[in-house]
Structure 1
Amino acid sequence: MADISRRALLRMGGGVAAMPLLGATGPCALAAAPAAWPARPIRLVVTFPPGGSSDIVARLIAPLLSEQLGQSVVIDNKPGAGSSIGAQLVAQSPNDGYTLLVSNSAALSIAPSLLEKRSYDPLASFEHLAYVGAVPTVFALHPSVPAGNIRELAAWIRASDSPVPFGSGGAASVGHLVGEQFAQELGLRMEHVPYRGAGPMRADLLGGQIKIAIDALPQNIALQKQGRVKLLAVTSARRVPQSPQTPSVAELGFGQLVSENYVGISAPAGIAREHAQRITEAVRQVCRRPEVAQALEAQGFVTQDMDAAGFTRLVAAQASTWAAVARRTGATL
């Protein structure tokens, strides 16, 4: 009985001691614990339709980021206006870490220089958190075009009675600007045909509706092996391992056409530092996985481990470079 009484008294004492705390409102009151982040699904905004390089990255890393962060990561394709629609959506979203951008050259380095009225700034509107890799573009031809290299392509275009159309995955894409610059540098009459994504553009190239496309390399490697397209040159400083038989524009004497479409992860400016650091580390850990690196390289990506500061410097440098190209070509959105 004595043991029971002591236990009862202890329970009663504990309950009595706790009672004042439950109703306390002064400085000694217990603070409510902040909600753990992330507490709900994270949206990953892709500025192109399914099938392009940004979409490939998103679909590869989203489930692995979900594992790292302990919350669902949902892909949301928001194409249009040279990638500016999706970028603007993210720039104007709450900076709570629940809306992220699959950042790329079109959205951050090119579109802002082509828009008549900027709706976001590539640096001031975002925190650039993690770099994934870059993809060179490639001059891809329908097999019917009688050209086996860049100079023969230029000669064929010059011999045409009217401007020769070339396709890209969209206005303000890297392919758009490379094609404009190619035409300007060589004095060629070419007409840009913007598509709503690389998938529809590639379908028209294969069908012969357009004869020239400047497209991301990855999706064209298999098509070349099947004899469905001819690849004349990659827009990189040197040949890439994924397509070693394809010369680079630099080795062909067109170093001014060197360009790569980078892909990374960015967030609205002002995101909490702890959230930003967690996202950065999660993306870097995912990209360090051998199977992820191999999958990216198989798709033509040149990968590199880069911290947030390094990625931000890259975005700044690319924005400056592409702004100058845009001015020279006169391209607009």
Structure 2
Amino acid sequence: MISRRTLLSAAGASALAPLALPARAQAWPQKPIRVVVTFAAGGSSDIVARLLQPGLQEKLGQPVIVDNKPGAGGTIGGADVAKAAADGYTLLLSNTAPISISPFMLAQPTYDPVKSFVHTAYIGAVPNVFVVHPAVPSKTVGELVAWIKAQTKPVNYGSGGVGSIGHIVGELFKKEYGLNMEHVPYRGSGPMHTDLLGGTLQFAIDTLTQNVPYIKDGKLRGLAVTSRARMALAPEIPTVAEAGYPKLLAENFLGISAPAGTPKDVVDKVHRATAEVLARPDIVKRLEDMGVALTKMSQPEFDGFVAKQVAEWAPAVKASGAKLN
């Protein structure tokens, strides 16, 4: 026989059950979302993240916090997100360095660029530019090669950091053409420009975006962009192929990635919110003005794009001989 106490307990549990359901089925997001940027403030990843931040906050209904975690070619930030809870509250402003390059420079990679993430929303790509201080007499890449070979000491070249595209392109440039060069890594483009504009550093391979104002003001000279076609942002600068150096073609992609295992409905919401922000004419103009070539991709297409990037860059990284200590 069932006692009166048992019946009351069962009735109480039944009455409370509906109240507990909403707590388990709360719609995402319910708290601030952190977007990790793998380079210091002032670089292209940081600029893009902060440009999208207000729109993502509006679409998702929660604060979006940009968290700069530079270092180790972007792998510090990449590992932070790869190891985070797969709940959508920690995202990565993914780019070529921590996804396609830096993991292959480590003796023991801290994450797998394909398996550790679900690549959620593609944004676009921006090329690098060979840029020199005006004191360097070179006006073309060919003249730069000749100038470097004429120097009695190694020529320092700067990049936004170890494992950046600028670093790898520089190492390929050095190896392919027998150049006496030494890499000077910075924690982002901002710190590098201090030395480059001051003449302490004479040559750099860096993202086009943040160099255009200096090139237009005559403070720096752009020799070639690493894209397939000339950029509307700086149409006077030839491509590396036009300059006679097609092997130096390299573009830095930008996107948003989440830890592997993030629920599909969360991934879909991030993808949709990003696409809606990227559809705004003012955002499109600002990104294009920065030299970002926008391309629409579905989430599965972005996953496939990353897998292809990794397959293409891994051999180039190994051929460059570049390492992360």
Deviation at 1:307, TM superposition (A): 1.1
- CA distance in 1 between counterparts of 2:156 and 2:72 reads 20
Q: Give 1:32's match in structure 2, choosing from 14, 17, 21.
A: 21
Structure 1 residues not aligned, in runs of 5+ = 1-18
State the one-letter code of the partner of 1:164.
V
Deviation at 1:20, TM superposition (A): 9.5
Deviation at 1:289, TM superposition (A): 0.8
Q: In the TM superposition, what whole-angstrom CA distance separates every residue of 1:249-270 from its partner, at most 9, and x where no partner exists?
A: 0112211111011110000000
Determine if contact 2:34/2:91 at 8 Å carries over to the other structure. Answer: yes
* 1:100 partner SS: strand
Deviation at 1:24, TM superposition (A): 3.3
- CA distance in 2 between counterparts of 1:24 and 1:119 reads 46
- CA distance in 2 between counterparts of 1:290 and 1:248 reads 28
Structure 2 residues not aligned, in runs of 5+ = 1-7
* 2:162 partner SS: coil
Change (3 A) 1:21 1:241: farther
- CA distance in 2 between counterparts of 1:233 and 1:60 reads 27
* 1:54 partner SS: helix
1:150-161 maps to which residues of 2 (within 5 A)? 150-161=141-152
Q: Name 1:55's counterpart in structure 2.
A: 46
- CA distance in 1 between counterparts of 2:278 and 2:258 reads 18
Q: Percent same amino acid among aligned pairs? A: 50
- CA distance in 1 between counterparts of 2:303 and 2:51 reads 23
Verify: 1:190 aligned to 2:181, yes or no: yes
Q: Name 1:148's counterpart in structure 2.
A: 139
Q: In the TM superposition, what whole-angstrom CA distance separates every residue of 1:71-99 from its partner, at most 9, and x where no partner exists?
A: 11011000001100000000000000000
Question: Comparing 88-97 with 317-326, which one deviates more in the overlay?
Answer: 317-326
Determine if contact 1:140/1:231 at 8 Å carries over to the other structure. Answer: yes
- CA distance in 2 between counterparts of 1:141 and 1:29 reads 68
- CA distance in 1 between counterparts of 2:200 and 2:304 reads 40
Q: Give 1:119's match in structure 2, choosing from 110, 121, 129.
A: 110
- CA distance in 2 between counterparts of 1:254 and 1:202 reads 25
Determine if contact 1:237/1:251 at 8 Å carries over to the other structure. Answer: no
Q: In the TM superposition, what whole-angstrom CA distance separates every residue of 1:163-182 from its partner, at most 9, and x where no partner exists?
A: 11100000000000011111
Change (3 A) 1:253 1:22: farther
1:287-326 maps to which residues of 2 (within 5 A)? 287-326=278-317
State the TM-score, normalized to the length of structure 2: 0.94
Determine if contact 1:21/1:29 at 8 Å carries over to the other structure. Answer: no
Q: Name 1:9's counterpart in structure 2.
A: none
Let me know the Cα RMSD of the aligned residues.
1.5
- CA distance in 2 between counterparts of 1:59 and 1:22 reads 52
State the one-letter code of the partner of 1:32.
L
Q: In the TM superposition, what whole-angstrom CA distance separates every residue of 1:179-207 from its partner, at most 9, and x where no partner exists?
A: 11111111111111111111111111001
Q: Name 2:89's counterpart in structure 1.
A: 98
Aligned length: 314
- CA distance in 2 between counterparts of 1:32 and 1:149 reads 66
* Structure with greater Cα Rg: 1
- CA distance in 1 between counterparts of 2:163 and 2:117 reads 19
State the one-letter code of the partner of 1:118.
P
State the TM-score, normalized to the length of structure 1: 0.92
